[in-house]
């Protein structure tokens, strides 16, 4: 089973849209291990609404936390203990499994300092890092990549999301030496049709 873990340089950088595009492109199964807040409009439901293929299976979250906060805080407020063993119990499938992380790669899920990216590495998943340009994003991106390399993560590549910034991208590409596997533009609204259109760019990744 191929496992691809989508994470980001921070929160609100477009992980869910990228996850929808990759899920549609590969007709992969989708799994969000931790949903923190917005249970009525979860990322799983958003991806479900955005894809067109009928092969994808949506696996239930391991943890559904009520507060829109970092998982370690939300779990404490809910009186829940997030167990590493439960996060590593992958859904049973013979399909490619697209796994969407919560927040950025260094977000903790407990007070021992275990992070989202720790789980991805233990899963032996390929890592897709979503990058969105803003003041400070070069620093956040290069630090994220250096950390991923330092822990031996299998980096599939980065996806730029949102308004392009050629100057920032040139620095990131030249200094990181990480493969750019695609770009997603700034769109007024992402629809099924638009996700399908973008998905054609990722078929052979």
pLDDT digits (tens, 9 = 90+) for 10-44: 988 999 999 999 999 999 999 999 999 888 889 99
Cβ atoms of residues 139 and 176 within 8 Å: no
Alpha helices by DSSP H, listed for the chain, are: 15-26, 43-50, 71-78, 84-87, 116-122, 137-150, 166-176, 192-199
- Say whether pLDDT at 130 is over 90: yes
Q: What is the pLDDT of residue 39?
A: 83
The reply to whether the predicted model has a pTM over 0.75 is yes
Could you report the per-residue pLDDT of 91-120, keeping only the tens digit for each? 999 999 999 999 899 999 999 989 999 999
Could you report the per-residue pLDDT of 138-177, keeping only the tens digit for each? 999 999 999 999 999 999 999 999 999 999 999 999 999 9
Cα separation of 101 and 139, whole Å? 21
Stretch 71-83: mean pLDDT, rounded?
95
Cα separation of 201 and 129, whole Å? 17
Say how many CA atoms lie within 13 Å of 87 toward its Cβ.
29
Cβ atoms of residues 190 and 47 within 8 Å: no
How big is the CA angle at 136 (ends 135 and 138), to the nearest 5 degrees? 110
Residue-range domains of the chain with CATH: 3-202 (3.40.50.300)
Question: Which of the residues 3, 15, 32, 132 is marked catalytic?
Answer: 32
Q: Is residue 177 annotated as a catalytic residue, yes or no?
A: no
**CA–CA distance from 89 to each of 53, 64, 120, 152, 203 (Å)?**
26, 16, 12, 21, 27
- Say whether pLDDT at 54 is over 90: yes
């Amino acid at each position: 089973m191929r496992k691809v873990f989508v994470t980001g340089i921070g929160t609100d950088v477009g992980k869910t849209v990228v996850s929808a595009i990759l899920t549609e492109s590969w007709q992969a199964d989708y799994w969000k291990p931790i949903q923190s807040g917005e249970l009525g409009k979860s990322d799983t439901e958003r991806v479900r609404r955005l894809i067109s293929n009928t092969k994808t299976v949506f696996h239930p979250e391991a943890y559904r936390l009520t507060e829109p906060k970092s998982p370690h805080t939300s779990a404490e407020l809910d009186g829940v203990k997030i167990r590493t063993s439960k996060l590593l119990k992958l859904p049973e499938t013979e399909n490619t499994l697209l796994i969407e992380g919560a927040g950025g790669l260094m977000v903790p899920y407990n007070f021992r300092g275990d992070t989202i990216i720790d789980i991805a590495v233990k899963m032996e998943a390929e890592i897709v890092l979503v990058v969105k340009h803003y003041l400070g994003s070069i620093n956040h991106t290069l630090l994220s990549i250096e950390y991923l390399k330092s822990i031996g993560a299998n980096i599939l590549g980065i996806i730029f999301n949102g308004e392009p910034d050629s100057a920032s991208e040139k620095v990131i590409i030249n200094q990181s030496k990480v493969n750019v596997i695609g770009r997603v533009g700034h769109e007024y609204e992402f629809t099924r049709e638009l996700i399908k259109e973008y998905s054609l760019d990722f078929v052979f990744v």
